[in-house]
Amino acid sequence: MRTQVAIVGAGPSGLLLGQLLHKAGIDAVIVERQSPDYVLGRIRAGVLEQVTMDVLDEAGVGTRMHAEGLLHGGFDLLFKGQRHRIDMAKLTGGKQVMVYGQTEVTRDLMDARQAAGLPTVYEAAHVAVHDYGTDHPRVTYEKDGQTHTIECDFIAGCDGFHGVCRASVPKGAIKEFEKVYPFGWLGLLADTPPVHHELIYAHSTRGFALASQRSLTRSRYYLQVPLTDQVEQWSDQAFWDELKRRLDPQAAEHLVTGPSLEKSIAPLRSFVTEPLRFGRMFLAGDAGHIVPPTGAKGLNLAATDVKYLANALIEFYLDKSEAGVDAYSEKCLKRIWRAERFSWWFTSLMHHFPENGEIGQKFQEAELDYLIHSENGARTIAENYVGLPLDFGQ
Ligand code: RFL
Ligand code: PHB
């Protein structure tokens, strides 16, 4: 098989890239290790920045998002038992975020790809990338007992943190920056009305909690838990009890509980790979970087990487210019480091770090107190949370 761009991974990055290239008349084949149902079963992001909404619109997959997604103009910070609203819209000249689950974004992209009859190979085993240091890269995989080869001009590594593309790069050609946090997030999804119409980010001496949502009837909650905890240790009842202890009395009283639809623990990590281009292979999304989820930036960064990559490839094929391809890594990394910084800072501010002692706790409370009483402080949070514009600082 021959194509122009071979995309490894059919998560949001790979599917979105496929869609943007298709709109520009560029051929792509996607190779995915898992089945479509498996990909849709992963419960992850919930908050989309304006920039992401714009890219999804450009890809022609924004209709259901606009109809069913919930626009939010603010969120609450909870500390010392009291909630304080960050009025994002007021502080950023009217900007809002969209609450619309990653599962739904992925489903919309899958449907669009299928409707256009574009090739995706699911359940491909032993996917491997070859010869991306030459002008003739290849992707190989096994399916139904046979080995297949895709010859291409470029490989897009959209295969997430545990993918093969980054792992294939010789150690000397890549630098990895990493910070692993000493806790994880236990998430629970339930068909119960959200406790509040906006999100609540809660700092407490028992640990961080987040009250999020997927719709007016579906809630998503998270608890900071030790890395040693196993999900089996947490009954639904234990989860709800602990969440109530970390929320303010009013929210705890209004919390509607119910059976979990999904429950899982995710570790928290800050991770960046430099560079993001290796000859004719590019990394995009979680394949190249990870943020702790506190700032809600992972999926949004993936969408902007993909937007930059699609533009670079369009420039290559339509304008016969390599300028965009050459600039890809540096352009992405500028934006990535800003989001990494915000996600690290917001994680450090909101979580409980027993190793920092009582004085660490006091510093966090004083910083939160400062931020919510200073318009500049609150604006700094708001501006980063709604997301920096695509051309910020370029
Ligand atoms: P994905 O989604 O991991 O998709 C990669 C795909 O590649 C496939 N793959 C392979 N395919 C072929 N061959 C191989 N060898 C392969 N190895 C892997 C995988 O099966 C998979 O289908 O990466 P992608 O597309 O870059 O998307 C990134 C996002 O998924 C991620 O950044 C976000 O989910 C992060 N995130 C959040 N981001 C936000 O913007 N807002 C949020 O509110 C938000 N909340 C979150 C999050 C992530 C979380 N977890 C679980 C890490 C909340 C959580 C709890
Ligand atoms: C979610 O709804 O899954 C979510 C929302 C905001 C975050 C992280 C996760 O910061």
How confident is the model over 233-260, as pLDDT tens digits? 999 999 999 999 999 999 999 999 999 9
The residue among 247, 265, 272 whose CA lies nearest residue 344 is 272
pLDDT given at position 43: 84
Residue 183 amino acid letter: F
Domain count, the chain: 1
| Residue 175 is a catalytic residue | no
221 is an active site residue: no
With a 6 Å cutoff on the Cβ, whether 300 touches ligand 1 is yes
Residue 71 pLDDT exceeds 90: yes
The closest ligand to the CA of 298 turns out to be: 1
Judged against a pLDDT cut of 90, whether residue 391 lies above it is answered with no
Question: Quick check: helix, strand or coil at residue 276?
Answer: coil
For residue 285, give the ligand 1 atom closest to its CA.
26
The β-bridge relationship of strands 154-157 and 5-8 is parallel
Over residues 110-137, the pLDDT tens digits come to: 999 999 999 999 999 999 999 999 999 9
Active site residue 370: no
In a domain, 112, yes or no: yes
Q: Select which of 297, 307, 331, 351 is catalytic.
A: 297
**Per this entry, what is the length of the chain?**
394
Helices and strands in the chain: count of H runs, count of E runs: 13, 20
Question: Looking at the domain assignment, is residue 376 inside a domain?
Answer: no
* Residue minimizing CA distance to atom 3 of ligand 1: 160
Q: How confident is the model at residue 45 (pLDDT cuts 50, 70, 90)?
A: confident
Within a domain: 165: yes
Active site residue 201: yes
Confidence of residue 392 (pLDDT cuts 50, 70, 90): confident
Q: Is residue 251 part of a domain?
A: no
Looking at all shown ligands, the one closest to residue 269's CA atom is 1
- pLDDT at residue 393, as a whole number: 76
Tell me what the pLDDT averaged over the chain comes to: 97
C-alpha to C-alpha distances, 310 to 11, 131, 271, nearest whole angstrom: 16, 21, 23
Alpha-carbon separation of residue 169 from 215, 364, 384 (angstroms): 41, 40, 32
Indicate whether 265 belongs to any domain.
Answer: no
Q: Please give the number of the atom of ligand 2 that sits closest to the Cα of 294.
A: 10
pLDDT for 242 equals 98
Range of the domain at 59: 5-72+99-177+270-351
343 part of a folded domain: yes
> Is 297 a known active-site residue?
yes
Residue 141 lies in a domain: yes
58 Cα–ligand 2 center, Å: 24
Tell me which ligand sits closest to the C-alpha of residue 210: 2
The answer to the question of residue 110 being in a domain is: yes
pTM score of the predicted model: 0.97
Q: Average pLDDT for residues 308-331, to the nearest whole number?
A: 97
d(C-alpha 153, C-alpha 343), whole Å:
35
- What is the CB neighbour count within 10 angstroms for residue 5? 26
Q: What is the CATH number of the domain that holds 17?
A: 3.50.50.60
CB 92 within 8 A of CB 389: no
Burial of 36 by CB count in 10 Å (0-12 exposed, 13-18 middle, 19+ buried)?
middle
Bridge partners (DSSP) of residue 353 are none
Q: Please identify, by atom number, the ligand 1 atom nearest to the C-alpha of residue 9.
A: 7
